[in-house]
Amino acid sequence: MQKRRCDPLDALNQIRKKIDAYDQELVQLFEKRMEAVLQVLSLKKEYKMPIFQKEREEQVLKKAAENIQNPLFEAEAREFFETIMRISRKLQARLLFPYNIVLIGFMGAGKSAVGKELSLLLEMELIDIDAYIEKEMKMTISDLFERYGEAYFRDREEEAVERISKRKNCIISCGGGVVLREKNIANLKKSGKVIFLEAKAETIYSRIQGDTTRPLLKGNMTIAAIQEKLKQRESHYQRAADFTVSTDHKTEREIAQEIIALLCEASPAVEQNFCF
């Protein structure tokens, strides 16, 4: 007897029906997982526990790898869970910090490095004002200073701050001299919380000695010169700051966690933003 050939469209529709049913289950599970994530967030916030724990993410990935039955999908399963955790972090950050996080402080205080760490932990976009100006002007900051002088750079900086302050939900890492103009701080504060990263002159020196891209300390890279400039700026930083965090002898991860804890304490309860 001749075997009846199946209609390929029919077969396709059958498989698609199965996929639709799996997706429906996935969406329901996704929603439940997100709600559980927010319950964890609320508990951690109430009991002042660290909110973003990379170690826990590693555990989740390990468990997923153990549970996967078809080794063909191992790499995809890892990617799937990495994505889910990235989305979870983004959701938590969006509810906790519905504003920009602005980092100020002297050169070498750790703004760029801590900015990167915060951006990674909170899944928030990082905007480095110096890098933004360099891209706009197609020129390094050192060249800008050398060719046009400091006043010209400060005007470009003011324009950049004005534009960037209109963005939402970003980490903004500022140049060390951004506090020299009141207008910059007023703009940054409209949409953001300002964190002053503080460091001793000795710490700053140990971090930036040998760096030739710092026009303000060009030919004068000494602890005394740093101390002098710090003294001139200290009150500007203090006045601009919503929060101050000391960065001496701390890793970028520790500083980022400290900032998150400070902002978290000041933010409203998660339940106010979300109905469980």
Partner residues linked to 192 by β-bridges:
100
Q: Which stretch binds ligand S3P (CB under 6 A): 45-53, 173-181, 219-227, 243-251?
A: 173-181
Among 34, 84, 143, 215, binds ligand S3P (CB under 6 A): 215
Give the shortest CB-182-to-ligand S3P separation in angstroms: 15
Distance separating alpha carbons of residues 237 and 257, to the nearest angstrom: 21
What is the token pair recorded at 100?
């920009």
Site string for ligand S3P, 229-258 (x = CB under 6 A): ------------------------------
Partner residues linked to 126 by β-bridges:
171
Q: Exposure pattern of 2-16 as b/e (b: 16+ CB <10 Å)?
A: eeeeeeeeeeeeeee
Note whether 175 binds ligand S3P by CB under 6 A. Answer: yes
Site for ligand S3P in 121-150 (CB under 6 A): 130, 141
Give the shortest CB-199-to-ligand S3P separation in angstroms: 11
What is the token pair recorded at 160?
């950049």
Give the DSSP letter string of 143-192: HHHHHH-HHHHHHHHHHHHHHHTT--SEEEEPPTTGGGSHHHHHHHHHHE
Note whether 110 binds ligand S3P by CB under 6 A. Answer: no
Backbone torsions φ then ψ of 245, nearest 5 degrees: -130, 125
Q: Which stretch binds ligand S3P (CB under 6 A): 7-15, 115-123, 170-178, 245-253?
A: 170-178
Length of the chain, in residues: 276
Give the shortest CB-55-to-ligand S3P separation in angstroms: 31
Q: Which stretch binds ligand S3P (CB under 6 A): 14-22, 61-69, 90-98, 210-218?
A: 210-218
Q: Taking the CA atoms of the chain, what radius of gyration do you get in angstroms? A: 25
Note whether 115 binds ligand S3P by CB under 6 A. Answer: no
Q: Which stretch binds ligand S3P (CB under 6 A): 68-76, 114-122, 169-177, 198-206?
A: 169-177
Backbone torsions φ then ψ of 172, nearest 5 degrees: -115, 115
Give the shortest CB-128-to-ligand S3P separation in angstroms: 8
Give the shortest CB-244-to-ligand S3P separation in angstroms: 16
Please state whether 249 falls in left (phi above 0), alpha (psi between -120 and 50) or beta: left
Note whether 195 binds ligand S3P by CB under 6 A. Answer: no
Note whether 177 binds ligand S3P by CB under 6 A. Answer: yes
Among 65, 77, 216, 223, binds ligand S3P (CB under 6 A): 216
Of residues 84, 88, 81, the one with CA closest to residue 67: 81
Note whether 198 binds ligand S3P by CB under 6 A. Answer: no
Q: Residues in the site for ligand S3P, rule: CB under 6 A?
A: 107, 111, 130, 141, 175-177, 214-216
